[in-house]
C-alpha cells in the first residue's frame, strides 16, 4: 500500500483557540477518505495546512512523500484543491473558465481542449459548457469548481464540503462525479458534515471534533462501535406495550417501543431473534422484522455527546 497523503502532529492555533490539535492522518493511494465533523471542528483548517495555504504551528503534512512546506512545488503539483467558495468568472462560459485554469497550468492547444472536454464530461456539464457561468445554478458552479481542481491531473483531490448549500440534484451529480473519480483510481480527501455522503463516497472515515480525530474506520466499522450486535426492528399488530414487556423480560436484550414497532438492540455477539419471536408468540402478531443499520450520526453522538448538525 502506497501512502498518498499523511499528516503527523499537525497543529494550528488561532490566538487561544486550538483549531487543529496534533492531527495524524494517513490516506493510501486510491483511497477515498472522509473527514466527518460538525461546523468548527477543524476540517477547513486541516485542509488549508495540507494544501499549503495555512502554515501549521507544528507538525508536518506530506503528499506522496513531499513535505508541503519544504517542497511546496512538488507537493502542490500533486494536489487538486476544491475550496468551499466558488472561485470562477461569471462572465465566461464553463468551458472558458476551465480553459483559463488549464492555461495557468501550462496547457495549450489541442491538449488543453481535450482536457477541458474530458473534465466537462467528468462533472456532467458538457451540454451546458458554452453558456455563461453566471447562468449556472450554484450546484453547477460547484461542479465546474471541481473540474477546475482537476485540470492539472492531480493525483490527490481534496474537496472541502463540496455539497454545502446546493440543490439535491446537483448534490447527487457531485457525489456521482466523485464516485467516478474514485473508481478510476483517484485518491480523495473529502470533508463533510453529512454522514450519508461520506458513507456513499468514502472507503474510510475519520470523525473529527475540536481538531482531533476521535474515531477512524470504514463506515461499517464505525457503525459497529455503536451496537456491537446490531439492531432489529419488529413491527407488530396488537398490544405493543405487552410485547415490549415480554421482550424486556429476556436477558441481554434492550427493547424500546415506538407506535407499532419494537426496536431491539442485541448485546455483543447475541442475535436472539428466535427467542424474541418465541416471547412474542401469543402476545402480538409479528408483521415484519428488519435489521436496522446505525447511522454515522448516532456514532458521532455517542463519541462526542453532540449532534452532527449542531
Ligand X SMILES: Nc1ncnc2c1ncn2[C@@H]1O[C@H](COP(=O)(O)OP(=O)(O)OP(=O)(O)O)[C@@H](O)[C@H]1O
Rule CB under 6 A: is residue 42 a binding residue for ligand X? yes
Rule CB under 6 A: is residue 145 a binding residue for ligand X? no
Name which of 121 and 297 has its Cβ closer to ligand X: 297
Name which of 6 and 160 has its Cβ closer to ligand X: 160
Rule CB under 6 A: is residue 104 a binding residue for ligand X? no
Rule CB under 6 A: is residue 192 a binding residue for ligand X? no
Rule CB under 6 A: is residue 304 a binding residue for ligand X? no
Q: How far is the CB of 42 from ligand X (least distance, A)?
A: 4
Name which of 43 and 272 has its Cβ closer to ligand X: 43
Name which of 39 and 285 has its Cβ closer to ligand X: 39
Q: What's the 3-state SS for the chain?
A: CCEEEEEEEEEEEECCEEEEEEEEEEEECCCEEEEECCCCCCHHHHHHHHCCCCCCCEEEEEECCEECCCCHHHHHHCEEEECCCCCCCCCCEHHHHHHHHHHHCCCCHHHHHHHHHHHHHHCCCHHHCCCEHHHCCHHHHHHHHHHHHCCCCCCEEEEECCCCCCCHHHHHHHHHHHHHHHHCCCEEEEEECCHHHHHHHCCEEEEEECCEEEEEECHHHHHHCCCCCCEEEEEEEECHHHHHHHHHCCCCEEEEEECCEEEEEECCCCCCHHHHHHHHCCCEEEEEEEEECCCHHHHHHHHHCCCCCC
Q: How far is the CB of 37 from ligand X (least distance, A)?
A: 5
Rule CB under 6 A: is residue 41 a binding residue for ligand X? yes
Rule CB under 6 A: is residue 56 a binding residue for ligand X? no
Choose the stretch contacting ligand X; rule: CB under 6 A; options: 11-19, 119-127, 225-233, 265-273.
11-19
Name which of 45 and 170 has its Cβ closer to ligand X: 45
Q: How far is the CB of 43 from ligand X (least distance, A)?
A: 4
Answer for which of 10, 36, 37, 266 binds ligand X (CB under 6 A) is 37
Choose the stretch contacting ligand X; rule: CB under 6 A; options: 14-22, 91-99, 168-176, 252-260.
14-22
Residues 95, 97, 103: CA angle, nearest 5 degrees: 100
Contacts to ligand X by CB under 6 A? 14, 17, 19, 37, 39-45, 161
Amino acid at each position: 500500500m502506497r501512502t498518498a497523503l499523511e499528516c503527523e502532529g499537525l497543529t494550528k492555533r488561532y490566538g487561544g483557540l486550538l483549531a487543529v490539535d496534533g492531527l495524524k492522518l494517513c490516506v493510501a493511494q486510491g483511497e477515498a477518505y472522509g473527514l466527518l465533523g460538525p461546523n468548527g471542528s477543524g476540517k477547513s483548517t486541516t485542509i488549508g495546512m495540507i494544501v499549503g495555504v495555512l502554515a501549521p504551528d507544528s507538525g508536518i503534512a506530506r503528499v506522496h512523500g513531499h513535505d508541503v512546506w519544504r517542497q511546496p512545488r512538488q507537493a502542490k503539483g500533486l494536489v487538486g484543491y476544491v475550496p468551499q467558495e466558488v472561485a470562477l468568472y461569471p462572465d465566461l462560459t464553463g468551458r472558458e473558465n476551465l480553459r483559463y485554469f488549464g492555461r495557468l497550468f501550462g496547457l495549450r492547444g489541442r491538449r488543453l481542449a481535450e482536457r477541458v472536454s474530458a473534465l466537462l464530461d467528468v462533472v456532467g456539464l458538457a451540454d451546458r459548457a458554452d453558456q455563461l457561468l453566471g447562468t449556472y445554478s450554484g450546484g453547477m458552479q460547484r461542479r465546474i469548481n471541481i473540474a477546475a481542481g482537476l485540470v492539472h491531473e492531480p493525483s490527490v483531490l481534496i474537496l472541502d464540503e463540496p455539497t454545502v448549500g446546493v440543490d439535491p440534484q446537483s448534490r447527487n451529480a457531485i457525489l456521482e462525479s466523485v464516485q467516478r473519480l474514485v473508481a478510476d483510481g483517484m485518491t480523495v480527501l473529502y470533508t463533510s458534515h453529512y454522514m450519508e455522503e461520506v458513507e456513499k463516497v468514502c472507503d474510510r472515515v475519520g470523525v473529527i471534533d475540536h481538531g482531533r480525530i476521535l474515531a477512524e474506520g470504514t463506515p461499517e466499522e464505525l457503525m459497529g462501535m455503536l451496537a456491537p450486535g446490531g439492531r432489529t426492528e419488529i413491527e407488530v399488530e396488537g398490544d405493543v406495550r405487552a410485547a415490549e414487556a415480554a421482550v424486556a423480560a429476556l436477558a441481554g436484550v434492550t427493547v424500546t417501543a415506538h407506535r407499532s414497532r419494537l426496536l431491539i438492540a442485541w448485546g455483543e455477539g447475541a442475535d436472539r431473534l428466535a427467542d424474541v419471536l418465541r416471547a412474542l408468540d401469543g402476545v402480538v402478531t409479528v408483521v415484519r422484522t428488519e435489521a436496522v443499520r446505525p447511522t454515522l450520526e448516532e456514532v458521532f453522538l455517542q463519541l462526542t455527546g453532540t449532534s452532527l448538525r449542531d
